[in-house]
């Protein structure tokens, strides 16, 4: 997977375009909600791609090497998963020219660009579906979707009435494509190829498991890799994903299994979630369970695949980290440090570096508080910047093996390392409410401290004595 060397060790920054940054210089007309008002289901804050481009310096300071945009194509929804034109960037974001400008500016900084591909469903405004609404059974596009009767009932449904066509989660605004239709397949594959040739570096695929067709995804991969052999194809699959990661479909999946393990262990008794993970309720877990969860995860795929997984900390579909970890920034830090040192790319959702708060549908998609510096957690920001710097160009993080150091793992102290022949990074962290002391053997204590918080180190004979405050950690290398 040499073509994906850029993914290994990457810091991917996730941008929800409507809420990240708004530039007045984009001169986009329209009336928008107040930037700092709470998120609403249908309101627009007016974030745009020029605003995102103007914040590339902030991203560079975090060591970001790729940006993943939630959907940018023309849509009548603030989240833009209701796509009505796949060949046009939403004019509210600045249109095609704004995306082209962002790609060029990002590439000049060595930052790649990944777009969200919503290919399972479209919107009621999508031309072919609108044609179906207007013409019913006479429409030549009737095989593009899954009608179950005529006329289609796309609006004004009763409280318990379901649409008479297949749609995502029975939401009438999201009609499901009939991907068995060769015309639809050609359309989707054409979209994927078009934007890769326009300069993007990868696709994040929305709910790809709902297109239950391996042959389709194999063809999707062939088309994408022919357009750009270095493109990254990552699927939104929250659970076990061997079916899609055999080398003939996706390069990676969004590794919510890693974040689930971190939430259970580092969140512990303060764990607080408003939603499930892959259909299961997460519960506090001890160190033994965490070690087992990580072992299972590492044994699931080829290591070359593990090295390019998109390791999630949080996303637009989860509560924010500070909420998830019970408002305890120390626990957030441990989860972040572990995730940043774990094999694979890491996905940082916008605003987590500032300690933004919010639950799913109640703050997770609030606007970035650029103008409210008093709301920034500068301690967290400093940590994410140092973690980003530690990852950048680090061969051990990019290609190194991973292993727990069981001799130090005592239920409170967690120790692990990343290593290559002759080189290693070792991390010790105290995931408890009481101080801990670790006598580190010479083989593990030779390195200098690269990153630490709540930790003191001193020599004690031939050993390094490491004193860790509650939720303290130290990275040696």
Query: What is the tens place of the pLDDT at every residue in 214-264?
Result: 999 999 999 999 999 999 999 999 999 999 999 999 999 999 999 999 999
SS3 percent helix, strand, coil of the chain, rounded to 5, is 35, 20, 40
Instruction: Say whether 236 is catalytic.
Output: yes
* Per-residue pLDDT at 445: 82
Domain boundary among 112, 140, 170: 170
Q: Hey, what are 76's tokens?
A: 């009548």
Same domain for 361 and 221, yes or no, is yes
1 or 181, higher pLDDT: 181
* Per-residue pLDDT at 162: 93
Convert 76-115 into a string of H (helix), E (strand) and C (coil): CCCCCCCEEEEEEECHHHCHHHHHHHHHHHHHHCCCEEEE
Q: Hey, what are 252's tokens?
A: 């990676």
Span 132-144, mean pLDDT? 97
> Cis link prior to 151 (omega < 30° from 0)?
yes
Same domain for 103 and 139, yes or no, is no
Q: Hey, what are 154's tokens?
A: 């796309």
Domain boundary among 170, 203, 237: 170
Span 56-82, mean pLDDT? 98
**pLDDT for residue 459 is more than 90:** no
Regarding pTM above 0.85, the answer is yes
Neighbouring C-beta atoms of residue 29, cutoff 10 Å: 6
The CATH number given to whatever domain includes residue 216 is 3.20.20.80
Burial class (CB in 10 A: 0-12, 13-18, 19+), 105: middle
* Per-residue pLDDT at 300: 97
Same domain for 257 and 383, yes or no, is yes
* Per-residue pLDDT at 461: 78
* Per-residue pLDDT at 34: 97
Separation of alpha carbons 368 and 226, rounded Å: 37
Span 183-201, mean pLDDT? 98
Q: Identify the sign of the CA torsion 18, 23, 29, 35.
A: positive
Instruction: Say whether 283 is catalytic.
Output: no
In the chain, the number of structural domains is: 3
Span 109-130, mean pLDDT? 98
Same domain for 142 and 51, yes or no, is no
Same domain for 391 and 445, yes or no, is no
Provide, rounded to the nearest whole percent, the portion of the chain with pLDDT above 70. 100
From the candidates 206, 319, 328, 353, give the one annotated as an active-site residue.
206
The CATH number given to whatever domain includes residue 146 is 3.90.400.10
**pLDDT for residue 462 is more than 80:** no
Name residue, tokens 């549908």. Answer: 361
Q: Read off the pLDDT band of 431 (50, 70, 90).
A: very high
Span 417-421, mean pLDDT? 97
Domain that holds residue 443: 401-476
Span 266-285, mean pLDDT? 96
Same domain for 268 and 376, yes or no, is yes
Q: Read off the pLDDT band of 107 (50, 70, 90).
A: very high
State how far the alpha carbon of 191 is from the alpha carbons of 4, 176, 210, 447, in Å: 22, 17, 19, 49
Q: What is the DSSP string of 139-187?
A: -TTGGGS-B-SSS---SS--TTPPPSB-BGGG-TTSBBP-TTSHHHHHH
**pLDDT for residue 1 is more than 80:** no
Q: How many CA atoms lie within 13 A of 406 on its CB side?
A: 4
Domain boundary among 108, 143, 170: 170
From the candidates 236, 352, 357, 366, give the one annotated as an active-site residue.
236
**pLDDT for residue 134 is more than 80:** yes
Same domain for 300 and 414, yes or no, is no
Span 120-127, mean pLDDT? 98
The CATH number given to whatever domain includes residue 415 is 2.60.40.1180
Burial class (CB in 10 A: 0-12, 13-18, 19+), 474: buried
* Per-residue pLDDT at 382: 98
* Per-residue pLDDT at 446: 81
Same domain for 241 and 363, yes or no, is yes
Span 25-39, mean pLDDT? 94
Separation of alpha carbons 345 and 308, rounded Å: 6
Same domain for 370 and 245, yes or no, is yes
Query: Is there a contact between 12 and 346 (Cβ–Cβ < 8 Å)?
Result: yes
Same domain for 220 and 269, yes or no, is yes
State how far the alpha carbon of 267 is from the alpha carbons of 13, 275, 329, 403, in Å: 23, 15, 10, 22
**pLDDT for residue 463 is more than 90:** no
Q: Hey, what are 223's tokens?
A: 């088309």
Same domain for 150 and 197, yes or no, is no
Name residue, tokens 């995860």. Answer: 297
Separation of alpha carbons 33 and 440, rounded Å: 55
Q: What is the mean pLDDT of the chain?
A: 97
Same domain for 250 and 353, yes or no, is yes
Which among 279, 375, 372 has a CA at the least distance from the CA of 322?
A: 375
Span 9-29, mean pLDDT? 96
């Amino acid at each position: 997977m040499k073509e994906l060397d850029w993914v290994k060790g990457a810091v991917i920054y996730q941008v929800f375009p409507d809420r990240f940054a708004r530039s007045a210089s984009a001169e986009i007309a329209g009336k928008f909600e107040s930037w700092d008002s709470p998120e609403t289901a249908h309101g627009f804050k007016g974030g745009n791609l020029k605003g995102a481009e103007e914040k590339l310096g902030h991203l560079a300071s975090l060591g970001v090497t790729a940006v993943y945009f939630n959907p940018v194509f023309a849509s009548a929804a603030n989240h833009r998963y209701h796509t009505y034109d796949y060949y046009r960037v939403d004019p509210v974001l600045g249109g095609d020219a704004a995306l082209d400008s962002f790609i060029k500016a990002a590439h000049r900084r060595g930052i790649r660009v990944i777009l969200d591909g919503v290919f399972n469903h479209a919107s009621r405004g999508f031309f072919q579906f609108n044609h179906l609404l207007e013409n019913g059974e006479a429409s030549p596009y009737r095989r593009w979707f899954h009608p179950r009767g005529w006329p289609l009932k796309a609006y004004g449904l009763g409280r318990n009435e379901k649409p008479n066509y297949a749609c995502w989660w029975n939401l009438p605004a999201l009609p499901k494509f009939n991907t068995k239709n060769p015309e639809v397949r050609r359309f989707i594959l054409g979209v994927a190829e078009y934007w890769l040739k326009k300069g993007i570096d990868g696709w994040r695929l929305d709910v790809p498991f709902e297109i239950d067709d391996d042959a389709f995804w194999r063809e999707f991969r062939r088309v994408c890799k022919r357009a750009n052999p270095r493109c990254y194809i990552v699927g939104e699959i929250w659970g076990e994903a061997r079916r899609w990661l055999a080398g003939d479909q996706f390069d990676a999946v969004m590794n919510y299994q890693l974040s689930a393990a971190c939430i259970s262990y580092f969140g512990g008794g303060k764990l607080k979630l408003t939603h499930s993970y892959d259909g299961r309720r997460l519960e506090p877990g001890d160190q033994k369970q965490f070690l087992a969860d990580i072992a299972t995860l590492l044994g699931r795929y080829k290591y070359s695949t593990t090295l390019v997984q998109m390791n999630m900390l949080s996303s637009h579909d989860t509560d924010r980290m500070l909420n998830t970890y019970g408002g305890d920034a120390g626990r957030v830090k441990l989860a972040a440090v572990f995730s940043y040192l774990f094999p694979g790319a890491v996905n940082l959702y916008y605003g987590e570096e500032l300690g933004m708060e919010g639950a799913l549908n109640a703050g997770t998609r609030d606007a970035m508080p650029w103008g409210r510096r008093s709301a920034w957690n500068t301690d967290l920001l400093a940590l994410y910047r140092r973690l980003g710097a530690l990852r950048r160009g680090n061969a051990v993080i990019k290609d190194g093996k991973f292993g727990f150091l069981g001799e130090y793992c005592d239920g409170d102290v967690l120790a692990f390392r990343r290593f290559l022949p002759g080189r290693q990074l070792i991390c010790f962290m105290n995931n408890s409410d009481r101080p801990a002391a670790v006598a580190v053997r010479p083989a593990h204590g030779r390195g200098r401290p690269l990153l630490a918080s709540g930790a003191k180190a001193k020599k004690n004979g031939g050993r390094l004595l490491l004193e860790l405050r509650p939720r303290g950690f130290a990275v040696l290398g």
